[in-house]
Amino acid sequence: MRALLVVNPQATATTPGGRDVLAHALASEVKLDVVETDYRGHAADAAAGAVVDGYDLVVAHGGDGTVNEVVNGVLRGGARPGLPLLGVVPGGSANVFAGALGLPRDPVEATYRLLQAVEHGTSRRVSLGKVASAGGPDQHDRWFTFNAGVGWDADVVAGVEHQRAKGRQASPGLYARTALASYFTQRREPASLTVRIPGEPPFEDVRLAFVSNTDPWTYLGDKAIRLNPSTSFDGGLGLFGLHGMGLPTILRYVAHLLATDGNPRGANLLRRDDVEYVRVTTREPVNLQVDGDLLGTCTEVEFTGVPGALTVAV
């Protein structure tokens, strides 16, 4: 078996020692090549090259952004039979995709699980989400593994990326402070979204729209944040939208999500599970994020669920 290990050396929990241990362990079982990323999009380019070169396995070692890039590289030519297996060894701050797969968040334990999967040939097909956007400086066509959204969550991602560019390290505290600042900006300049899903009339004046490909939506430290607990890699997409952003509404939902295992309800809540697509339009450009990566702004975006798009070693 030929394998390519794609490592993001800048990821939060990735170290040279950990990378060397992982590479040595994998090289004992497969014919291994290693690529360390050094520019945005490098992981996607490396994974796309691995498809062309006939590799059997592509392993992403980094955070969710690295995993997303590798997935988009593997699927650059579309979802089809004969693509390499995806392996994941977490190395970031959240590692939502790995957690949703039931993989250990510790890199050493995850490496052991990957080696067991390679030895015994165990894998599973997973559904993915796909984003197609327009109405911004750039059009985007991109896969996502666990969540995407427009509005508040994308504004938070934009704020965190701005802070990281200044040298700040991603942490639950940084996300919480940025979310608070973004909330008050939303209150001053609220988004007005029109949301369409199959078989229902349009929903007008939606303030935010989060789309899930699996459960949980994300992690805050070790706490799983579960917006659509019934959403999984075996079904369609989940939608979590809010018609109001008043402080009592937000505090009630945040308290519920932090104190429980999800399943939120309420009059201001637009929530659906297992839908084929979610289409969002807005008059003014809004930020768009996928898997915690800011894509930019748009006025139109469609999120589509693609069943069994990828095979993952587990």
Residue 116, Cβ neighbours under 10 Å: how many? 13
| Predicted confidence (pLDDT) per residue in 179-207, tens digit | 888 888 888 888 899 999 999 999 999 99
| Predicted confidence (pLDDT) per residue in 121-142, tens digit | 999 999 999 999 999 888 889 9
**Residues contacting 68, CB < 8 A, separation 6+:** 143, 144, 145, 290, 291, 293
Average pLDDT over residues 102-107: 91
Q: How confident is the model at residue 48, as a pLDDT?
A: 98
Q: Are 221 and 163 in contact (CB under 8 A)?
A: no
> Hey, what are 3's tokens?
């394998």
Q: Are 186 and 245 in contact (CB under 8 A)?
A: yes
Mean pLDDT of the chain: 92
Tally of helices (H runs) and strands (E runs) in the chain: 8, 16
Q: How confident is the model at residue 179, as a pLDDT?
A: 87
Q: How confident is the model at residue 308, as a pLDDT?
A: 96
169 has pLDDT over 80: no
**Residues contacting 262, CB < 8 A, separation 6+:** 215, 216, 225, 226, 227, 228, 229
Q: How confident is the model at residue 184, as a pLDDT?
A: 87
What domains can be seen in the chain, in order of their start residue?
2-121 (3.40.50.10330), 128-309 (2.60.200.40)
| Predicted confidence (pLDDT) per residue in 206-256, tens digit | 999 999 999 999 988 888 999 999 999 999 999 999 999 898 989 899 898
State the Cα–Cα distance between residues 155 and 148, nearest whole angstrom: 12
Q: Return the amino acid letter for 154.
A: A
Percent of the chain scoring above 70 in pLDDT? 100
CA proximity to 197, closest of 86, 277, 257, 262: 277
280 has pLDDT over 90: yes
Largest Cα separation within the chain, whole Å, is 57
Q: Where are the beta strands (DSSP E) in the chain?
A: 2-7, 31-36, 57-62, 85-90, 123-134, 140-144, 147-150, 193-196, 203-206, 208-212, 218-220, 223-225, 237-242, 269-275, 277-290, 293-313
Q: What pTM was computed for the model?
A: 0.93
Report residue 174's pLDDT band, with 50, 70 and 90 as the boundaries. Answer: confident
